[in-house]
Structure 1
Amino acid sequence: MAEARSAAALSFQVTHDGVSVSYDQELLRDIWHAFSRQYKRRTGRFKNNFLAGTFPANGFTFALVVAAISIFSVFRRDLSFGIVPFIQTYFIHYIFGDGILGQSLSVLLSAAIVWFLLIQILRLSLKALLSYKGWMYESVGKPVSTPTKVWLMFLHFISKASPMLHSFQGALPHLPLPSLDETVNKHLRSMRPILNDEEYADLEFLSERFRRGVGRRLQRYLMLKSWLSSNYVTDWWEEFVYLRQRSPIMINSNYYALDTLNEHPTTNQAARAANLTWASLQFRRLVDRQEVTPFSISPKSKVPFCTMQYERLFNACRVPGVEVDRFLVCDDAKHVAVYHKGCWFKVIVHNGKRLLDACELQYQFEQIIKGDYEPSNAERHVAALTAGDRTHWAKARKSYLGSGVNKTSLHAIERSAFVVILDEEEQRWDPNDSSRLDQWASVLLHGKAYDRWFDKSFNLIFTKNGHFGINTEHSWGDAAVTAHFVEWILVKDIVDEGYDDKGNAMGAPREKIEPERLRWDICEEGEAAINVSLKVANELISDTEMSLLVWTEFGKGLIKKLKVSPDAFIQMTLQLTYFRNQGKFSLTYEASMTRLYREGRTETVRSCTVESSNFVRAMCDPNKTREERLQLLHQACEQHQHLYRDAMCGKGVDRHLFALYVIKRYLEEESPFFDKIFPPTYLLSTSQTPLNQCDEEMKGLSQEQRLRLITAGGGFGPVADAGYGVSYIIAGEDTISFHISSKKSAANTSSKEFREELQRSLRDMRALFLSTKKTD
């Protein structure tokens, strides 16, 4: 249709009077605006990439270099290390001669070369500066060491140069490769709490054979890769952990996040969807312009983090393949894809001249909600393909959605900015009825299997009564970036924009654009393929149990009085809960980030340690005193914090072993050690949702406004068939939320029972503190 309209915009006709030219002025203007927008975007992107690549230098420093070389040239002094006479003699002389113009061009070109070389030296120095990690191991509450003070002073000075989103990317250090001995020793110690003496002795023997034998050869290959790549593990991690996995990504990979708990700004579904869609597009604009701060994770210490993942947040989609998927990122998207009552729509968000206002988006959403549509069965369920087996989806995509209107509609979804889901049911949080939040979390995690496009980078999900949630595909990035994005748009929605007294988006539409319904023509074989995926997805959904807990009896405020890390405190509580629930210790996964390094993603903190198991046993031993338990708690928390810091600093165990295992598979080596330990089975998989990444935006908010923005965080499905998945967020001084998942088919797990045991453990931990307080 667009091609036909473009052709009709300008036409020629030969008549007796000559050549007659007719044109549609308005359409030509629209074409010009589209061209102009693309030109401006590409020019702006080039400019921003150049500025980010030359940070912390700028135009002023270039002018200083030019001025210095010019002034000294007048006095017959050469600051260019011979570059000016070389360029003048061998290049400029033959074109412009030896006059003023030639000399000026020589100085200008030489200054550019010197400036560029100085930038490289400066950025190498910055990389060396950022390689310092001593600040990570500074004890809280104790005086900061002199090296860390100097280091922080330099970083503070550099931050004054107004860095852009990607300013530090080229200066971030590469992820360090741990020594083989160090990793094997750490792995062995992490297995001690879950193995008996005989099993541990066997693992010791295999570990020593691996260390002295094939492990050294694998380490040499991995060392070579670490020298030749920005990050020795990330590309393999994304390929083998995500893109090569053939099982459904719904529940198994995708994760979700919830709306605010204490604030429900409007019950108007279209208005809430419009405001948050508009806010999301504003965040996309910030990313495009590189105006998101690279300090977003740690604003107080001004430590830069890798920002690679932000580039894959918008206009992106995972595309299925028979053996391996790929991740598609489009340069631009002027629409979002919308699903409602079994139909897919294309909603324009940019008219070629400007982003549409929230009230103009609300008009389009209202037209969709009010519409009377009768979708076919295949049309209603087509998105179930994204919830099923990946190989089956890849074959069905090529066979049944690869041509005609199906291909056009498929591309409209995959190449959209993101997906908006307008659900037909209401959801809410009821402090007196935990099942309501359980249901809401389940809806966000998997929905009905066919009402989410699980391949998209994210789906914004809006309930009938105006609540919000998000479902996120995992291969492109991790929860920290999603949490930052969600926190930002919620501040924009609730605090900055708001709604009128009728619950509508603010303002009046300047333009009313009708949404376009996407058409499908799916044959019977295609419908059968959809039903195969739907059956697989429904079986997965029926086997998943979600239980949530919003704990308000105490929070971060009380934990800090114990002088332990809140995260370590929660991890010890989870260890206690798991031991009481299962009667044993198991390998525990806690995600930590490695974004202090270029292209860093995550590392595993093995939270079940010798120290944590000693503490848990003391809590279960009635003969132990509170003082003994408290001492063991401090030891366990200190060890946990040490492991967490090691993981963030590239000294973890799991990613190193994973990379060695990939090389072992490539070389087809035999390794009884890997046969024994790989892949590791984490029966307790945990993750903390980061908070307060928008300090700049929230700086002027009162305590009451901040309470309005408290969320329950997000969660994920069970990682192991017989294990638990637990996500948590320490949302305030008196609020901690937990998301617990497990499989109903497992005889040894129950999310509801774990939640009950978790409440008991939290009260026991609080009693430990309160009793200590009384004796002080």
Structure 2
Amino acid sequence: MAEAHQAVAFQFTITPEGIDLQLSYQALNQIYLSGVRSWKKRVSRIRNRLIKGVYPASPSSWLFVVIAILATMYMRSDPSMGLIAKIQQHLPLSLHVSLSAQGQTMVSALVFSTLLWLSLILTLRFCLKLLLSYHQWMFEQHGRVSNTTKVWVTLLRLLSSRKPMLYSYQTSLPHLPVPAIKDTLSRHLESVRPLLNDVEFERMTELSQLFENSLGNRLQRYLKLKALWATNYVSDWWEEYVYLRGRGPIMVNSNYYGMDFLYVTPTPLQAARAGNTITALLLYRRKLNREELKPSFVPGTVIPLCAAQCERMFNTTRTPGEETDVIQHWQDSEFVAVYHKGRFFRLWVYHAGRLLSPREIEYQVQRILEDSSPSQPGEEKLGALTAGDRVPWAQTRKKFFSSGVNKRSLDIIERAAFFVTLDDEEQGMRGDDPEGNLDRYAKSLLHGKCYDRWFDKSFSIVIYKNGKNGLNAEHSWADAPTIAHLWEYTLATDAFQLGYIEDGHCKGDVDRSLPYPQRLFWDIPSEVEVQVQRSLSVAQALADTVDCYIFPFREFGKGRIKKLRVSPDAFIQISLQLAYFRDRGGFCLTYEASMTRLFREGRTETVRSCSNESSDFVKALEGGESADQCRRLFRLASEKHQNLYRMAMTGAGIDRHLFCLYVVSKYLGVESSFLKEVLSEPWRLSTSQTPVQQMELFDLKNNPDYISLGGGFGPVADDGYGVSYIIVGEDLINFHVSSKNSCSETDSHRFGAKISQALKDIMTVLSSDPKTSSSSRATEQRQSKKLL
């Protein structure tokens, strides 16, 4: 094949006259250029380490300190108070011999200046860490900022005035604190009160007190010891025990998806959309490698968030093991893995040391689409191994993919920058059944055909036949906000920066001498084919039971909610409680994901959204209480929810602390009936908000149709719901609801309808308040005057 010949750098033939050596200078030149690119990246990494290593100072500040010290010495003053002379006395003998007295003094001054400079850096970094450990600002009422917080903001701005790189703040972020065990147990009892009757609550209280007075303090001591030693006392155990040690399918149960624009498909050409999407992702990777991405901050503040999750975004895969999986990450990869109609390809995205243009990537993708070669025996459904149970996949991988052609092909997939599926279906909100097609679009991204995605990759891109796209992300290496940041950049860069020409093709020129994409070859024995079918059966049964409902809520958005002086997230969460009560006739343990990235290597914490206050409001509304009473109870519920969210963000949550105490108990070989019961409680309502982090990339005023659909995930409990939502602009909220058909008590469409009705009912109650209505009208009048 042509691509095989291109890969050969030299050939030799043994003849009677000797050895006939034939060099391919073109191939050698490619190797040389690839090496140059690799060395440039190494130099860039060293430079970045130096710059971020001295933050909040700068490398040039060293020269300033040296000049200041030398200038002071020139004025016959000793700024070191005798230290320079002592350093001079302890210089190596060779320097005493080779340098004059003045030269020795100069070297000693340089050593002292460097030590002084490093001391100043450590002092500044320590001060910045102290400032970032202050979280009281989050609990202050809007418009009533204390003097302490004002001083804190001023100092923080001064210390972080230099333009930071992506990882500049990492060493200055505080460590996640271990809450007092008494506080955690008290908050846990408060969170389960609306779910238990008096007898059940009394029993839980007794279990909690027994745990605190016996085993709890012993486990707490071990946990505090870990917190002193480890960067983050939660994250490594959370990654290992919640994700990597799971032995069931990661498809649906762990992986999640992200969608394309709701109303717009920038081009109907599959290859062109692939060209721009792949290019945008690689441009993001370039910014990531060079650390040119801006650090993420708490919205509207100068408070940085941990960026550690970005490190394993590309060139990463989850490899299966019999007891636990392992995340493997490679520094670089110059190709992506592509799947199309049962065949796997390696698509090189660099040529002659440069990134291919979008038009060239489109050209290469079109070659794959036009390739009529059949799939090899056992190749078409090979990806089902990543969709089924983990132990059979680990055993099959070890036995049949650890050597030979299978290992080489598997290595290419696992080392690829990311995985691309060229899907032969059309998806999106289209045709005579736009709502139904939107649901099928979500299911396609969540599980596809159960064999046409590589679920182990950090993320896989899906490009559909009609130009629609989307992604499927593996969960263990990072949480949704990290991949959402990447996807926002990709969609915006594809549509607004790279763009397309009039006929839908990518912009740019094509080098038609590019080598063909490389087919991957396999030797699949019958035992592997049998296991592929078993894994496919498991995955297909799981996929068939997933019920998805995606709907845009257009009645109102955060603009109208904020006019009522209510947190949009609290408004939605309380609406979900009302919807669930109407759907199931009661309350349930509710999971809302909150981030703990204010701390180094922080991931998530749980906000237990079902509170005494929210349940009181729901009961009052459903019980026909007066509007005034309902509004009062709603305000209390909203304030409670916001407080719970703040506490989770600042390390005072419940669930991660209890989880780590449970892990310690397992290591010590002791049993706790309290921890066992708490951690076995099902999350029948699992919710998450997809944050919009880069609204500046989207001009919704001039391009109102370019609205993101966000993404979603499967239900956590077999008899529960998964609800993801994204607040887009001022007037739209997109919801993703999932459940399982195998449970007769759940129905995603029914629950989605109840969510919509709950949102409208609560808005009606709050809008009927004369004080709020007049305040909203006054705000609207002020805004209209500004516009005039």
- Same structural fold, with TM-score higher than 0.5 when normalized by the shorter chain: yes
Cα distance in 2 between the residues matched to 1:13 and 1:110 = 69
Q: Say whether the 8 Å CA contact 2:8–2:24 is kept in structure 1.
A: no
Partner of 1:573: 575
Q: Give CA deviations for 1:47-74 in whole Å, capped at 9, x if unaligned.
A: 1012111111112210111112212233
Instruction: Tell me the TM-score normalized by structure 1.
Output: 0.95
Partner of 1:652: 653
Deviation (angstroms), 1:490:
1.0
Q: Indicate yes or no: 2:72 matched with 1:72.
A: yes
Cα distance in 1 between the residues matched to 2:668 and 2:122 = 38
Q: Say whether the 8 Å CA contact 2:337–2:420 is kept in structure 1.
A: yes
Q: Say whether the 8 Å CA contact 1:267–1:466 is kept in structure 2.
A: yes
The alpha-carbon distance between structure 1 residues 697 and 436, as it changes in their structure 2 partners (threshold 3 A), is closer
Cα distance in 1 between the residues matched to 2:260 and 2:24 = 47
Deviation (angstroms), 1:35:
1.8
Partner of 1:258: 259
Deviation (angstroms), 1:83:
4.5
Partner of 1:731: 728
Partner of 2:479: 478
* Paired letter, 1:447: G
Q: Indicate yes or no: 2:413 matched with 1:416.
A: no
Deviation (angstroms), 1:469:
0.7
- Which of the numbers 590, 596, 599 marks the counterpart of 1:597? 599
The alpha-carbon distance between structure 1 residues 376 and 170, as it changes in their structure 2 partners (threshold 3 A), is same
Cα distance in 1 between the residues matched to 2:12 and 2:695 = 52
The alpha-carbon distance between structure 1 residues 71 and 504, as it changes in their structure 2 partners (threshold 3 A), is same
Cα distance in 2 between the residues matched to 1:443 and 1:28 = 43
The alpha-carbon distance between structure 1 residues 92 and 119, as it changes in their structure 2 partners (threshold 3 A), is same
Cα distance in 1 between the residues matched to 2:82 and 2:459 = 55
Partner of 2:52: 52
Q: Give CA deviations for 1:634-681 in whole Å, capped at 9, x if unaligned.
A: 110100000000000000000000000000111112322113222331
Cα distance in 2 between the residues matched to 1:343 and 1:589 = 40
Deviation (angstroms), 1:92:
4.2
The alpha-carbon distance between structure 1 residues 58 and 21, as it changes in their structure 2 partners (threshold 3 A), is farther
Q: Give CA deviations for 1:516-553 in whole Å, capped at 9, x if unaligned.
A: 11111100011111111111101111111111121111
Cα distance in 1 between the residues matched to 2:119 and 2:81 = 12
Cα distance in 2 between the residues matched to 1:274 and 1:399 = 37
Task: Name the SS for the 1:338 alignment partner.
Answer: strand
666-675 vs 498-507, which deviates more? 666-675
Cα distance in 1 between the residues matched to 2:81 and 2:37 = 43
Q: Say whether the 8 Å CA contact 1:165–1:292 is kept in structure 2.
A: yes
Cα distance in 1 between the residues matched to 2:394 and 2:78 = 64
* Paired letter, 2:176: L
Cα distance in 1 between the residues matched to 2:567 and 2:101 = 70
Cα distance in 1 between the residues matched to 2:152 and 2:214 = 41
Q: Say whether the 8 Å CA contact 1:299–1:695 is kept in structure 2.
A: no
Q: Give CA deviations for 1:567-603 in whole Å, capped at 9, x if unaligned.
A: 0000000000001111111100000000000000000
Aligned residues: 767
Partner of 2:779: none
33-42 vs 415-424, which deviates more? 33-42
Partner of 1:221: 222
Cα distance in 2 between the residues matched to 1:11 and 1:234 = 57
Task: Name the SS for the 1:103 alignment partner.
Answer: helix
Deviation (angstroms), 1:75:
4.0
Partner of 1:713: 710
Task: Name the SS for the 1:148 alignment partner.
Answer: helix
Cα distance in 1 between the residues matched to 2:441 and 2:250 = 19
- What are the ranges of 5 or more consecutive residues in structure 2 without an aligned counterpart? 775-788
Task: Name the SS for the 1:704 alignment partner.
Answer: coil
185-194 vs 66-75, which deviates more? 66-75
Q: Give CA deviations for 1:360-381 in whole Å, capped at 9, x if unaligned.
A: 0000110111111211452011
Q: Say whether the 8 Å CA contact 1:92–1:106 is kept in structure 2.
A: no
Deviation (angstroms), 1:218:
0.5
The alpha-carbon distance between structure 1 residues 629 and 34, as it changes in their structure 2 partners (threshold 3 A), is same
Task: Name the SS for the 2:350 alignment partner.
Answer: coil
Q: Indicate yes or no: 2:120 matched with 1:118.
A: yes
* Paired letter, 1:270: A
Deviation (angstroms), 1:763:
2.2
Cα distance in 2 between the residues matched to 1:261 and 1:625 = 40
Partner of 2:701: 703
Deviation (angstroms), 1:174:
0.2
Deviation (angstroms), 1:23:
4.8
- Which of the numbers 103, 106, 109 marks the counterpart of 2:105? 103
Task: Name the SS for the 2:354 alignment partner.
Answer: coil
Cα distance in 1 between the residues matched to 2:104 and 2:773 = 85
* Paired letter, 1:227: L
Task: Name the SS for the 1:600 alignment partner.
Answer: coil
Q: Indicate yes or no: 2:426 matched with 1:426.
A: yes
87-96 vs 302-311, which deviates more? 87-96
Deviation (angstroms), 1:759:
2.2
Deviation (angstroms), 1:748:
1.7
* Paired letter, 1:37: R
* Paired letter, 1:250: M
Q: Say whether the 8 Å CA contact 2:10–2:21 is kept in structure 1.
A: no
Q: Say whether the 8 Å CA contact 1:13–1:21 is kept in structure 2.
A: no
Q: How does 1:26-45 map onto structure 2 within 5 Å?
A: 26-45=26-45
Task: Name the SS for the 1:91 alignment partner.
Answer: coil
Cα distance in 2 between the residues matched to 1:3 and 1:733 = 57
Cα distance in 1 between the residues matched to 2:4 and 2:60 = 46
* Paired letter, 1:434: E
Q: Say whether the 8 Å CA contact 1:11–1:21 is kept in structure 2.
A: yes
Q: Say whether the 8 Å CA contact 1:490–1:709 is kept in structure 2.
A: no
Q: Say whether the 8 Å CA contact 1:152–1:301 is kept in structure 2.
A: no
Deviation (angstroms), 1:297:
4.3
Cα distance in 2 between the residues matched to 1:542 and 1:325 = 26
Deviation (angstroms), 1:148:
2.0
% same residue:
45
The alpha-carbon distance between structure 1 residues 377 and 83, as it changes in their structure 2 partners (threshold 3 A), is farther
* Paired letter, 1:461: V
Deviation (angstroms), 1:762:
2.1
Q: Give CA deviations for 1:748-774 in whole Å, capped at 9, x if unaligned.
A: 211121112222212212322343359
The alpha-carbon distance between structure 1 residues 82 and 290, as it changes in their structure 2 partners (threshold 3 A), is farther
Deviation (angstroms), 1:87:
3.2
* Paired letter, 2:245: R
Deviation (angstroms), 1:429:
1.1
Task: Name the SS for the 2:503 alignment partner.
Answer: coil
* Paired letter, 1:703: K
Partner of 2:506: 505
Cα distance in 2 between the residues matched to 1:31 and 1:159 = 42
Cα distance in 2 between the residues matched to 1:682 and 1:554 = 29
Q: Say whether the 8 Å CA contact 1:319–1:325 is kept in structure 2.
A: yes
98-107 vs 52-61, which deviates more? 98-107
Task: Name the SS for the 1:378 alignment partner.
Answer: coil
> Which runs of structure 1 show a deviation greater than 6 angstroms over 4 or more consecutive aligned residues?
1-7, 9-16, 19-22
Task: Name the SS for the 1:591 alignment partner.
Answer: strand
The alpha-carbon distance between structure 1 residues 521 and 192, as it changes in their structure 2 partners (threshold 3 A), is same
Cα distance in 1 between the residues matched to 2:437 and 2:695 = 31
25-34 vs 735-744, which deviates more? 25-34
Q: Indicate the RMSD between aligned Cα atoms, in angstroms.
A: 2.2
Q: Say whether the 8 Å CA contact 1:92–1:102 is kept in structure 2.
A: no
Partner of 1:91: 91
Partner of 2:743: 746
Q: Give CA deviations for 1:328-375 in whole Å, capped at 9, x if unaligned.
A: 110100000011111111111112411111000000110111111211
Q: Give CA deviations for 1:188-240 in whole Å, capped at 9, x if unaligned.
A: 00000000000000011111111111100000110110000110010000000
The alpha-carbon distance between structure 1 residues 7 and 25, as it changes in their structure 2 partners (threshold 3 A), is closer
Task: Name the SS for the 1:727 alignment partner.
Answer: strand
Cα distance in 1 between the residues matched to 2:471 and 2:9 = 41
Q: Say whether the 8 Å CA contact 2:12–2:20 is kept in structure 1.
A: no
Deviation (angstroms), 1:24:
4.2
Deviation (angstroms), 1:9:
7.9
Partner of 1:438: 439
Partner of 1:533: 535
* Paired letter, 1:718: P
Cα distance in 2 between the residues matched to 1:443 and 1:399 = 31
* Paired letter, 1:274: G
Partner of 1:249: 250
Q: How does 1:581-620 map onto structure 2 within 5 Å?
A: 581-620=583-622
29-38 vs 97-106, which deviates more? 97-106
2-11 vs 79-88, which deviates more? 2-11
Cα distance in 1 between the residues matched to 2:709 and 2:697 = 20
The alpha-carbon distance between structure 1 residues 89 and 731, as it changes in their structure 2 partners (threshold 3 A), is same
